[in-house]
Chain A
Amino acid sequence: MADYQIRRCERQLEGGIHPETQKALSTTDSCIFVGDPKRLVFPIHFSGGGPGEALVAVADIVSQGTPIIKCQSGITHVASRAGKVIDIIDHEIAHPAATKSASIIIEPSGLEDQNYLDPLVWPFDADTLRNRAIEAGILGLGGAGFPSFKKWSEGMQTLIINGAECQPYLTTDDTLMRIDTHSMIRGASMLSQSLDIKTIIIGIEDNKPEVLEAIESALKESCSDCFFDVVLLDTKYPSGSERHLVWLTLGIEVPTGSHAVESGVIVHNPGTLAALSRAIDGKPITDRIVTLTGEALAAPQNIVVPIGAPISHLIEATDTNPESLTSITIGGPMMGYSVTNFTAGITKTTNCLLAREVDIPPESPCIRCGACATVCPVRLQPQQMVFALKGGSLDRAIHEGLTDCIECAACNAVCPSHIPLAEWFRLGRFEARDKANDQRLAAKARERFEARNMRLKRISLEKEAKRAVRQAKTADALEKARKARKESA
């Protein structure tokens, strides 16, 4: 039995909102596997892990687990089913960029042809695990898609399993933590032991009693050197935001502009750890749990689907005709984005498809009620930032704290004027990122310009010095000649 404790979180989230959770809609006891789709779509540059490079060519035959994309970060994405590469073309992608991008299209053959990695045998060191995570394509499955191995630096003190799942409608992590508890705990222990982490915190919101039960019984059965600290959080959005969760569970405030790892804390989604556990056994990520929910679906539920399955295939799995929907929101009502083309394939970061009818009231002017500032969990003044951004003053918005905004959209949710505040902040943050990049390039250019000027100056000084020496020599020689002439005369 692993050593553990269950406690209530003593801290309170400042700001935040209590949305109607709507979680009952998609909560089911089990999680069905849907049949394979006719084709699988893998965007080369947008699968998570940065821009990539195709490792296969058209007409190649792939097994389940064959590497097909290698990203700049090293992360490898594999074919989620055995089949044949039928095309590599620009295809719609499930991404807020809403563009087409180069994608590998695979037609599944339905064969049980697997090409997995060799299982790792404990004990292994952190580097072995990092390599495994790279080969198995382990990314943050919570939605951000950050390459997990990059968080595994030495000297970390705590691993937090982020099971808060505070967004309304989503039940992906809830389902995973109920049906795959053992994998999650095993992945967490293995990771902690190889990094020499002693404490694992599991943060869950207190609206998930079944998860708590499952975790408790799994902890009783498992054995691990780590201490498990199960923290029950008040149900409040956004308690699952990384920096808020670190503060709620540990009391550590992650400073502005840095990440939790810089404070010695690794935060992972439960799904990521369960995937890591399977990767240790040799199985790369080929499938994931997706919540299909929303009032417009006939049978909302959680399903296990192969990565790359088209969105329409998932919608059909809920007995709904994709043509009856005009758009679908990927990633939940708060943090998500809409897609209208259902041929795009899901990626590792697709945690939820939400389909519902919403009528969007028109935006009206800000009445300066301050509601947004009251709920902002980062204690920003969203109304000030949005004024600055609408007025085209990025500097001003950054001065107001734009780069600290976590885009939680709590401000959107309460704004009586229906101003899409978080949308502005996302745009602003992207512009700020570009600007910071420009400044970095400018600094480099300045350095090179100055280095060049120094060099040119040095060269001209050297030339001058040489000339002076030459002149002195000539003068010397002349002098000598003159003397010689005098003597002979």
Chain B
Amino acid sequence: MTDALWTIGAGVAGLSVIALLGGILLQYASKGFSVDGNPLVNSIDALLPQTQCGQCGHPGCKPYAEAIAGGEPINRCPPGGQDTVDRLASLLGVDILPLDADDATTEQDLVAIIIEKDCIGCTKCIQACPVDAIVGAAKLMHTVIVDECTGCDLCVEPCPVDCIDMIPRPKSPDYWMPTRPNIISSDRCGQIGIQHG
């Protein structure tokens, strides 16, 4: 009888210890491996172009990501283009929608440039820039850090003297892109004899 009690007791004790250890482990794991924010929002945000332009009607990409996670249509991001819509659709398992924008505003990689001689140093553009890409101080000339500019064009409107232009993003002078194949551009197309065997 006592033997049986012992066995049961040992079993209960053993399982309790395992359960306790498991509990502690899980507790630590949930702290150590916890994900910041909503993981779905983060993966949606990762697909958005981070232009922070607000053309989707939200004050930046992350807020739009949150809105999408809450059920908003996925086709409101003109800088991302149809590509982004497609990727969002495949991420979320929803139908692909046509992009909700007029073509002119999409697919153009622009940056802002301040015509420095006209700048009066009003700091309005600095306040408008969502990514802090404009440097300058009150009554002193401002300028755009080209590498940080996302081309959102939010600084153009507030400028009282209209001295901000959007220009195509400058490229490194040694930038180049191969032409699309299928025009005869080289003789690489299998033009060597192969020794078989």
With the chains together, A19 CA to B147 CA distance in Å? 46
A19 engages B195 (CB within 8 Å): yes
Q: How far is the CB of B79 from chain A (nearest CB, A)?
A: 10
Q: Chain B at the A interface: mostly helix, strand, loop or mixed?
A: loop
Verify A445–B131 contact, CB threshold 8 A: yes
Interchain CB contact (< 8 A) of A422 among B49, B148, B180, B188: B188
With contact pairs A338-B185, A449-B61, A449-B131 given, residues A19 and B192 touching in the complex (Cβ less than 8 Å): yes
A448 engages B148 (CB within 8 Å)? yes
Q: Is there contact, CB below 8 Å, between B188 and A427?
A: no
- CA of A98 to CA of B184, assembled, Å: 13
A434: nearest chain-B partner, CB-CB:
B177
The answer to whether A445 and B177 touch across the interface, beta carbons within 8 angstroms, is no
Most buried by A among B172, B176, B179, B188: B188
Contact status A442-B188, CB under 8 Å: no
Q: Which residues from A are CB-within-8-Å of B61?
A: 446, 449
- Counting chain B CB atoms within 10 Å of each CB, the highest count among A412, A420, A426, A430 belongs to A420
The answer to whether B50 touches A449 (Cβ under 8 A) is yes
B184-197 vs A, Cβ < 8 Å mask (1 yes, 0 no): 11111111111100
Chain B, 26-74, CB within 8 A of any chain A CB: 45, 48-52, 60-62
Q: Does A329 contact B (CB under 8 A)?
A: yes
Provide the residues of chain B in CB contact with A98, threshold 8 Å: 179
In the complex formed, the residue of A with least CB distance to B133 is A448
Task: Tell me whether B173 is interfacial, beta carbon within 8 Å.
Answer: yes
Residues in A with CB closer than 8 Å to B143 are none
Is B132 positioned at the interface, with any CB of A under 8 Å from its CB? yes
- A168 contacts the other chain (CB 8 A): yes
* A19-B189 in contact (CB<8A): no
With contacts A333-B188, A449-B130, A452-B131 taken as known, whether A19 is within 8 angstroms of B50 at the C-beta atoms is: no
Check B195–A102 contact: CB distance below 8 A.
no
Given contacts A19-B194, A97-B176, A451-B132, contact A423 B150 (CB under 8 A): no
**Beta-carbon contact of A427 and B178 below 8 Å:** yes
A45 to B176, CA, bound (A): 11
Minimum C-beta distance from B109 to chain A (A): 9
Pairwise interchain contact B186-A338, C-beta atoms closer than 8 A: yes
Report Cα–Cα, A445/B172, bound state, in Å. 20
Q: CB-CB < 8 A to A356: which residues of B?
A: 187
* Chain A neighbourhood of B189, CB < 8 A: 360-361, 363, 412, 418-420, 423
Main secondary structure of the interface of A (DSSP, over half): mixed
Pick the residue among B48, B184, B194 that contacts A360 (CB under 8 A).
B184
Q: Are B148 and A449 neighbours in the complex by a CB distance under 8 Å?
A: no
Residues of A within 8 A of B174 (CB): 45-46, 50-51
In the assembled complex, B181 has its CB within 8 A of some CB on chain A: yes
Q: How far is the CB of A321 from chain B (nearest CB, A)?
A: 20
Q: Which of A20, A361, A363, A434 is B194 in contact with, Cβ under 8 Å? A: A20
A-chain residues with CB within 8 Å of residue B192 when the two chains form the complex: 19-20, 168, 333-334, 413
A168 to B195, CA, bound (A): 12
| CB 8 Å contact bits of A216-247 with B (1 = contact, 0 = none) | 00000000000000000000000000000000
In this complex, what residue of A is CB-closest to B196? A18
Taken together as a complex, chains A and B put the C-alpha atoms of A409 and B188 apart, in Å, by 7
Expressed in whole angstroms, the minimum distance between the Cβ of B65 and any Cβ of chain A is: 10
List of A residues within 8 angstroms of B147 by Cβ: 441
Flag whether A101 is at the interface (Cβ < 8 A). Answer: yes
Residues of A within 8 A of B132 (CB): 448, 451-452
- A19 with B45, Cβ < 8 A, contacts A360-B187, A448-B148 known: no
**Contact code string A306-340 (vs B, CB < 8 Å = 1, else 0):** 00000000000000000000010100011011100
A448–B132 CA distance with the chains assembled, in angstroms: 7
> Are A444 and B184 touching (Cβ within 8 A)?
no
- Check if A414 sits within 8 Å of B190, measured CB to CB: yes
Q: Say yes or no: is A99 at the interface (Cβ < 8 Å to chain B).
A: yes
- CB of A275 closer than 8 Å to a CB of B: no
| The one of B48, B49, B52, B181 that contacts A423, using a Cβ cutoff of 8 Å | B181
- With contacts A50-B174, A445-B131, A450-B62 taken as known, whether A329 is within 8 angstroms of B52 at the C-beta atoms is no
B190 touches A415 (CB 8 A): yes
Q: Which residue of B45, B187, B192 has the most chain A CB atoms within 10 A of its CB atom?
A: B192
Docked Cα-Cα span, A334 to B189, in Å, equals 9
**Given A46-B174, A423-B178, A448-B133, A17:B187 Cβ within 8 A:** no
Q: Complex formed: what's the CA distance from A102 to B132 in Å?
A: 35
* CA–CA, A360 and B188, complex, Å: 9
Inter-subunit contact B194/A420 (CB<8 Å): no
Which B residues are in CB contact (< 8 Å) with A414?
190, 194
Does B105 lie at the interface of the complex (its beta carbon under 8 Å from any beta carbon of A)?
A: no
| Distance to closest chain B CB from A348 (angstroms) | 15
Chain A contacts of B195 at CB under 8 A? 18-20
List CB contacts (< 8 Å) of A357-409 with chain B. 358, 360-361, 363, 395, 409
Q: Is the CB of B173 within 8 A of A102?
A: yes
Within 8 Å by CB of B188, from A95, A97, A412, A446, lies A412
Cβ proximity bits B117-147 to A, threshold 8 Å, 1 near / 0 not: 0000000000000111100000000000001
Q: Which are the 7 A-B pairs with shortest beta-carbon distances?
A: A97-B176, A423-B181, A442-B50, A20-B193, A445-B50, A448-B131, A45-B174
10 pairs of residues in contact across A and B, judged by CB atoms under 8 Å = A20-B193, A51-B174, A101-B173, A418-B190, A423-B181, A445-B150, A446-B61, A449-B50, A449-B52, A452-B130
9 further contact pairs, Cβ within 8 A, besides A427-B180, A446-B50, A452-B130: A44-B173, A102-B173, A329-B188, A336-B188, A360-B191, A361-B189, A420-B189, A423-B185, A448-B148
